[in-house]
Structure 1
């Protein structure tokens, strides 16, 4: 097997899930290797994604680990068997790897839920709004780097408008709607864009008003990608250092609870659209 380079978070997830299966079976890497007739180093290399693993090898290991969750096994096997390179690969040497991992996560999601308190969700931003945000990045980005990030953000939005668009729920605080990044005209256009895309059958925008109830948040933007099975969900926090991805079961459960409570504090979709248009009118 040839060593793998520049493994994405999704590729690494295959090894992570195989390690979890082994640990749930109560086996050490050495014990698993002995039963499989190989070395513990090979098991470790597979789990660390230092070498590729085939879909059939995933099924073999899952059988060895007595994993009876067949939907999980098949989902992990499908991940291991993927061979296509996504559009984000053209940015491999241009943007930080965490941004590419975010695009790949969104592309393969069966559904997306996001929460933003200060910013408009990236998949709903106009190019002008995104450009205004990138101009404020610290340390400052060079003009051509700003344009790379704008084009990348726009291309990410394909998941919402492709032939089989992903179901998308955005929980947005009223504060984000009233921020005027780029000035009045950019802000007004952004609000009208939100109202327009909220009419799409797969997009639901829920606004948390200033006079609404309290809700849990640390202020970071939260993206939650549902996988083909719950165990393969992924959460991403938008921090000053880039996107940070999480897949531990406990953290995923916490983030689902956060989103549920934020959604309970939000207005219904129609009322949210009305509020967006009222703010746009007065912007």
Structure 2
């Protein structure tokens, strides 16, 4: 089977974790391939996500690399095998790859935390609010492209409503809460939606008022997606060129600490809900 030309973020992550295990063992790709009856190119393609790996071969690789972390190995096996076709695949070729990777990461996470200072979290936006945001994109999107992106964003929100809802913490600065997208009617509806979503058991919406002053992480948009084991956590940052994905241990620890600090600066759930209601009343 020829190598994949466009591996998904999940496929790339599996390969990256296998590369980390190999490097920790001090083994070269050639040595690993020789022990498994494969060549260096095969190992390199697996580690780049361009080639799949079976559960059996993954366990063989972990054994070869002297990895005794059974929880990590079991978690990695869930990333193996042929790619299941999920809902976001229907958008492949019509939306930027980064948006599909984001949907994939959110779908497979066990918990999500986000921090936003200028825009509201996509998982908490109304369709009308999202439509205005996409309509202001540069370069300008066609009406069809805007609707495609709105539909994708609305489907992403399914992780908060499924039978076992995703635990979700959203830290939102007052600046984002006061931005008016689409006029007063759209803004009021969006704030009302935030209040409604904040009442869900699985959603923690925490507001940081202007009066808190400076705080760590100001200006950043951060998504922390927790995996089945800590080693498979992922941080996604919005960049001008598209989403950036981070998974180095030091990076994960740093962004966990940053989000913890931001939570300390925020109002609690009840006061945040009252704060949003007050902003809506003042419109």
User: Shorter chain as normaliser: what TM range?
Assistant: over 0.9
CA contact (8 A) 1:25 1:66 kept: yes
Structure 2 counterpart of 1:207: 207
What whole-Å deviation, never above 9, does each CA across 1:72-103 have from its counterpart, x for those lacking one? 11111111136421100000011000100000
**TM-score normalized by structure 2?**
0.97
Structure 1 counterpart of 2:44: 44
Unpaired segments ≥5 residues, structure 1: none
Where in structure 2 are the equivalents of 1:130-279 lying within 5 Å? Answer: 130-217=130-217, 219-279=219-279
Q: How far did 1:248 drift?
A: 1.5
SS in 2 for 1:79: coil
Structure 2 counterpart of 1:63: 63
SS in 1 for 2:210: coil
1:101 equivalent in alignment to 2:112: no
Counterparts of 1:40 and 1:240, CA distance in 2? 36
1:75 equivalent in alignment to 2:45: no
Q: How far did 1:242 drift?
A: 2.1
Counterparts of 2:213 and 2:231, CA distance in 1? 31
CA contact (8 A) 1:214 1:265 kept: no
Structure 2 counterpart of 1:116: 116
Question: Please, what is the CA RMSD of the aligned residues?
Answer: 1.2
What whole-Å deviation, never above 9, does each CA across 1:203-224 have from its counterpart, x for those lacking one? 0100011111532125131111
Counterparts of 2:238 and 2:3, CA distance in 1? 31
Alpha-carbon spacing, 1:82–1:269, altered in 2? closer, same or farther (3 Å): farther
Structure 2 counterpart of 1:281: 281
What whole-Å deviation, never above 9, does each CA across 1:15-50 have from its counterpart, x for those lacking one? 100000001111111222232233222211211222
CA contact (8 A) 1:236 1:246 kept: yes
Q: How far did 1:275 drift?
A: 0.2
Structure 2 counterpart of 1:23: 23
Counterparts of 2:82 and 2:264, CA distance in 1? 37
Structure 2 counterpart of 1:7: 7
Counterparts of 2:220 and 2:143, CA distance in 1? 26
Counterparts of 2:78 and 2:56, CA distance in 1? 10
**TM-score normalized by structure 1?**
0.97
SS in 2 for 1:157: helix
CA contact (8 A) 1:220 1:239 kept: no
Q: How many positions carry a matched residue from both structures?
A: 283
CA contact (8 A) 1:126 1:190 kept: yes
Unpaired segments ≥5 residues, structure 2: none
SS in 2 for 1:238: strand
Counterparts of 2:82 and 2:105, CA distance in 1? 14
Counterparts of 2:26 and 2:4, CA distance in 1? 28
